[in-house]
Amino acid sequence: MDAVLPVTVISILLGALIAVIVFGNYFRKRRSEVQSIATSEVLHANQKPSKPPQPASKKSHSKPHTHAADKDANKRHHPLDVNTLKGHSDSVTGLCFSSDGHSLATACGDGIVRVFKLDDASSKSFKFLRINLPAGCHPMAVAFSDDSSSLVVATHNLSGSSLYMYGEEKPKAVGETKQQPKLPLPEIKWEHHKVHDKRAILTLVGTTATYGSADGSTILASSSEGTDIILWHGKTGKNLGNVDTNQLKNNMATISPNGRFIAAAAFTADVKVWEVVYSKDGSVKEVLRVMQLKGHKSAVTWLCFAPDSEKIITASKDGSIRIWNINVRYHLDEDPKTLKVFPIPLHDSSGTTLQYDRLSISPDGRILAATHGSTLQWLCAETGQVLDTADKAHDGDITDIAWAPRTIPIGDKQALVLATASVDKKVKLWKAPPNPS
């Protein structure tokens, strides 16, 4: 009896100690990385989204409206405005859709990355996953990597820019699997600091590399505010190559959807294009400068690749949009040709053409979405004709736009959806204007 007692006491103490260590660790980890999973936001607290656009202006003679109220009503009821994602407590700096279109990640000045589940874009509430970034980091841009459970976040502070890759944490504890596992719990899989020395990252774009012998993994391009662009492997965080535009200053850089080309807008009229060369084993061998788009008379402010990766669309301060064919034999010194030139159909009150800050083409290649300040415009990519304009799409400048890569449900319909982010702390969802035919 006397001999048994100490053994029992020791085992109990030992057991308690293990429990404290294991659970202490577990809870500490969760608190620092995941705040809450299923916070629902009630949207449309005082508006009825199911109502069709109000013919308010026609009825206004019967009832005197205040000017402000009319303005508000117009703003809310732009016919393409589907929804507003609220709950951000600072400027939204960037956004990105997952490849299935059902997750929308946002970077916000409040230090939080939110991943919204968009099972129905017209829904009155969205569940979102909340990722608190390490203290003092200002998220600038987000990009999904491989699937909707891994996300790369570019942050900035005084010491420079960092990249953090958040990946799904495998459910292990019993308490964890009890919760619905729809939204994965992220943990940091890799991180890099001072990736562009002290410079901020302006854009971060990822794509699935499928061109040639590429192995289908996600590659990402981060563009600094300087002249450098870095190519990253999404899953491992490996640096795959650096390029320097040797131009003025980058405004943005992007990768073609198939992972073959990188192009940058750098406050100059000419646009440089690089090719990512893949080895037989699917890895990136090198990044070579291959083409230059020459034709604009003034700085190119933004550009995007067509979904087929064979065209580039550029917007310039010279008041025009150009569509370029880059499917040329550049190794035989054949230059990319301008297929089309459209005037930018946006003017200030004195008739001066305004510049586009952002440009994005719909996944079917038919609609160009473009922004200037808080104005959002949809153009026919074939003719350059204006399909629709939302004058005050946001209560402040638009900071980022993205099309969902495939149609997503709006009520019982499937539609192409554009998301816009703004300094007004909101993200809006817009359905595509009908195609002219």
- Residue 193 CB, shortest distance to ligand NAG, in Å, is 5
- Cα 401 to Cα 405: distance, rounded to the nearest angstrom: 12
Region for 237 from its dihedrals, namely left if φ exceeds 0, alpha if ψ lies in -120 to 50, beta otherwise? left
Q: Are 338 and 292 in contact (CB under 8 A)?
A: no
- Cα 45 to Cα 309: distance, rounded to the nearest angstrom: 42
- Residue 87 CB, shortest distance to ligand NAG, in Å, is 24
Task: Count CA within 13 A, CB hemisphere, residue 111.
Answer: 10
- Residue 159 CB, shortest distance to ligand NAG, in Å, is 4
Please identify, using beta-carbon distances, which residue of 151 and 418 lies nearer to ligand NAG: 151
- Residue 160 CB, shortest distance to ligand NAG, in Å, is 7
- Residue 187 CB, shortest distance to ligand NAG, in Å, is 15
Please identify, using beta-carbon distances, which residue of 24 and 136 lies nearer to ligand NAG: 136
| Interface residues toward ligand NAG, by CB under 6 A | 134, 136-137, 157-159, 162, 193
Please identify, using beta-carbon distances, which residue of 157 and 227 lies nearer to ligand NAG: 157
Return the structure tokens found at 121: 């874009």
Whole-angstrom CA distances from 128 to 37, 115, 263, 339, 388 are 6, 5, 33, 42, 30
- Residue 161 CB, shortest distance to ligand NAG, in Å, is 9
Q: Are 192 and 160 in contact (CB under 8 A)?
A: no
Q: H/E element holding 430? A: strand 427-431
- Cα 316 to Cα 239: distance, rounded to the nearest angstrom: 31
Please identify, using beta-carbon distances, which residue of 32 and 159 lies nearer to ligand NAG: 159
Please identify, using beta-carbon distances, which residue of 188 and 380 lies nearer to ligand NAG: 188
Please identify, using beta-carbon distances, which residue of 239 and 385 lies nearer to ligand NAG: 239
Return the structure tokens found at 296: 């604009």
Please identify, using beta-carbon distances, which residue of 157 and 389 lies nearer to ligand NAG: 157
- Cα 14 to Cα 33: distance, rounded to the nearest angstrom: 29
- Residue 183 CB, shortest distance to ligand NAG, in Å, is 24
**3-state DSSP assignment of residue 364:** coil
